[in-house]
Structure 1
Amino acid sequence: MNTAFHRLLLLLLLALPWAVHAGDAADYAKASPGQIQVFGREDWFSPPASGSGEKAPLVICPCSTGTLSALATGASNNLIERAGDVALKERRPLILVLRESPYSEVHLNNMLTLTRQGAVIMPASPGFYHKPESIDDLVDFMVARILDHLNLPQTLMPRWGEKG
C-alpha cells in the first residue's frame, strides 16, 4: 500500500474517538503491521501536529460542525483540529466530511471560509443513482469519493460513465 493511502488510514482513525478501542477489530485485520497508527486527541507531539512532517493529505471523517468551526477560526483544542490547522497553513489537501445537517448560517459561513482556504467540504451525503442495496454500498460511495478527490486508486465504485 502506498504512503498516501497509509497516511489516509492513519488520519481517518484519528478522527474517530473510539478508534483506540476498535484497533483490534476485524475491519483492520488486513492492515500490515505498523500500517495503522493511532494517536490520542491530546498527542501534541505526534507527526500530524507538525508542519515539518510528511506532506500528506488530511481527511477528517467524520467532521463535526464543532471541528469545522475550530478550523475556520484557527483554534486548535485537540490533535484533530491541530492536524487540520497544519494542513491549511501548509496548503496540503484537506477534505472535511461533514456529518451533521441541516446547516445553520454559521456552518455555511465556516464552510465558505474553509473552501476559500483550499479545503474541500464533502457532506456525508452518498448518492443514490448507483442503486445502493446496503449501508455498505452507501459507505463505499463516500469512501470512493474521498479516494477520487485524493487521486488514489479505488475499485469500490465506478466513476461516472465507467462500466462497473
Structure 2
Amino acid sequence: MKIIVGLSGGSCTIYGIGVLKVLKELGIETHLVVSTMGEYVAKHECGILLNELKDMATYFHDNKDLAAPIASGSFKTDGMIIVPCSMRTLGAVANGISDNLLTRAADVVIKERRKLIVVPRETPLSVIHLENMLKLAKIGVTIMPASPGFYHRPETIGDIVSIMVGRTLDQLDIEHNLFKRWGA
C-alpha cells in the first residue's frame, strides 16, 4: 500500500504522529506532507521537530513542491489521511483550492476517486465549517472528527490515541490491533 499522510495546523498532531508510527510498523509506504502550521503544532504540542516527522515517513514532500509525485493522478496511491485537518485546509480542499501540495494531493485523491479521510479538529464548529464538511462528505470523503470513544476504558493518552488511529486506519481497511473492538 501507498498512503499519503498530511499534517496541517489543527490541534491533535499526536494523532498524525500515531498514524505515521503505526503505518511504519506495518511496513506501509507513506508519503508525508506537512503544512507550516502543522510543523509548528507538532513542535508545540508534542515536542517533535520536522526532521523527526520526516524519519517517521517513507518519503517526505515539501508543501511548496507542486511537482512532487503526489501532485499527479498518474502516481497511484491507496488513499490519503489528513490528520489533523485544520479548518483552513478543510475549506481549501472542499472548495478545490490547490495552492500547496497538501491541498493539491487531496484534490488529486478526490478527482481520482481514491479514499480521503480527514480528521478535523475544531470546536465549536461554525456553519461554514459544517458546510465544508458536508460538501466533502457528499463526494465520498470520510470525515472523522478527533473525538475518541471511551467505551474501551482508556487509561492513558496513548490509549486514546490508539483508538483514533485505529478507527482512522479502519477506513482504509488496514488491519491492526490498536484497541479492543466492541463485543470482542
Would you say same fold, with TM above 0.5? yes
Look up the match of 2:154: 132
How far did 1:3 drift? 4.2
Q: Per the alignment, do residues 94 and 3 of structure 1 end up closer, same or farther by CA in structure 2, a change over 3 Å counting?
A: closer
Q: Which residue is equivalent to 1:101?
A: 123
- Are residues 1:45 and 2:55 paired? no
Q: Is the Cα contact below 8 Å between 2:65 and 2:101 reproduced in 1?
A: yes
Q: Structure 2 stretches of 5 or more lacking a match?
A: 4-22, 43-47
**TM-score for the superposition, normalised by structure 1:** 0.83
- Pair 1:111 & 2:133 matched: yes
RMSD: 2.3
Asked which structure has the greater CA Rg, the reply is: 1
Inter-CA distance 113–156: structure 2 relative to 1 (3 Å threshold): same
Amino acid at match of 1:122: M
Change (3 A) 1:73 1:138: same
Q: Residues of 2 paired with 1:23 and 1:36: CA distance? A: 13
Question: Which moves more between the two structures, 91-100 or 15-24?
Answer: 15-24
Give the match for residue 10 of structure 2: none
Q: Paired residue for 1:23?
A: 51
Q: For the residues of structure 2 that align with 1:3 and 1:76, how far apart are their CA atoms?
A: 21
Listed as ranges, the matches of 1:1-164 within 5 Å are 2-4=1-3, 5=23, 6-7=28-29, 9-11=30-32, 14=34, 16-17=38-39, 21-24=49-52, 36-162=58-184
Q: Which amino acid aligns with 1:73?
A: N
Question: Which position in structure 1 is the counterpart of 2:11?
Answer: none
| In 1: Cα distance, 2:76 partner to 2:123 partner | 33
The Cα offsets for residues 83-118 of structure 1, whole Å up to 9 and x where unpaired, read as 111111111000000011111011111111000111
Higher share in strand: 2
Where 2:88 maps in the other structure, the secondary structure is helix
Secondary structure of the 1:10 match is strand
Q: Following TM superposition, by how much is the alpha carbon of 1:68 offset from its aligned partner in structure 2, in angstroms?
A: 0.7
Moved more, 93-102 or 13-22: 13-22
> Percent identical across equivalent pairs?
44
**Long gaps (5+) in structure 1:** none
Structure 1 counterpart of 2:8 = none
Deviation at 1:40, TM superposition (A): 0.8
Q: Of the two structures, which has the highest relative contact order with CA contacts closer than 8 Å and spacing of 6 or more?
A: 2
**Residues 8-29 of structure 1, C-alpha deviations (whole Å, 9 max, x = no match):** x434x5464257934347x95x
Amino acid at match of 1:23: N
Residue 96 to residue 160, structure 1, CA distance change in 2 (3 Å): same
Residues paired across the two proteins, number: 153
Per-residue CA shift, 1:61-95, capped at 9, x if unaligned? 01001111101110011111011111111110000
Does the 8 Å contact 2:147/2:164 carry over to 1? yes
